[in-house]
Amino acid sequence: MKEFRGRVIVKGTCTATALVSHEGFNTLASYQTSFLTGDKKATCSDQNNPDIYKKPMAGAALCLPQTIGSTTGGMILYTASDYGRQPACMLFSKPIDSIGAAGVLLSDIWTDAKMPTIDSLGDDFLSYVKTGMTITVKEDGTVLVG
């Protein structure tokens, strides 16, 4: 088991299976089909992201460098949380961007959904973690990958 430390954006703890995107996470493209079809697994519909395309995002430990896309991205993450289709946690290798920050903070404030969020975990984190690994997030920003 390897340990990484980052900055806590949204407090919380969880243990979940990793879903790793090595590219920017486009929230609208990833969730659009799920919202239109009622897919409760939130199967990723972003065909430009081969790492996570057609993989379920709901309940996963989403490991990513940053989010990308338009300013609606924050509302997309909030809506995913409101519908109960949010990742178990969001783990950013880089400092969180404004789209991601808006989404996780809106989710934390306006919903009962829990989505612990840690940023600044480093490039080593994203190089090490693989889809399917078990991730444990602690409240102090410690992330265990095993």
Rounded mean pLDDT of 32-46? 97
pLDDT in tens, 45-61: 999 999 999 999 999 99
20-40: buried (b, 16+ CB within 10 Å) or exposed (e) per residue?
A: bbeebbbbbbbbeebbeeebe
Domain range annotation of the chain = 2-145
Over pLDDT 90: what percentage of the chain?
99
pLDDT of residue 44: 98
pLDDT of residue 33: 97
Question: Does residue 73 sit in helix, strand or coil?
Answer: helix
Q: Is-above-0.75 flag for pTM?
A: yes
- The CA distance from 68 to 27, in Å, is 7
pLDDT of residue 80: 97
pLDDT in tens, 73-127: 999 999 999 999 999 999 999 999 999 999 999 999 999 999 999 999 999 999 9
pLDDT of residue 123: 97
Fold entry, domain 2-145 = Glucose Oxidase; domain 1 (3.50.30)
Say which residue, 138 or 71, is predicted with more confidence.
138
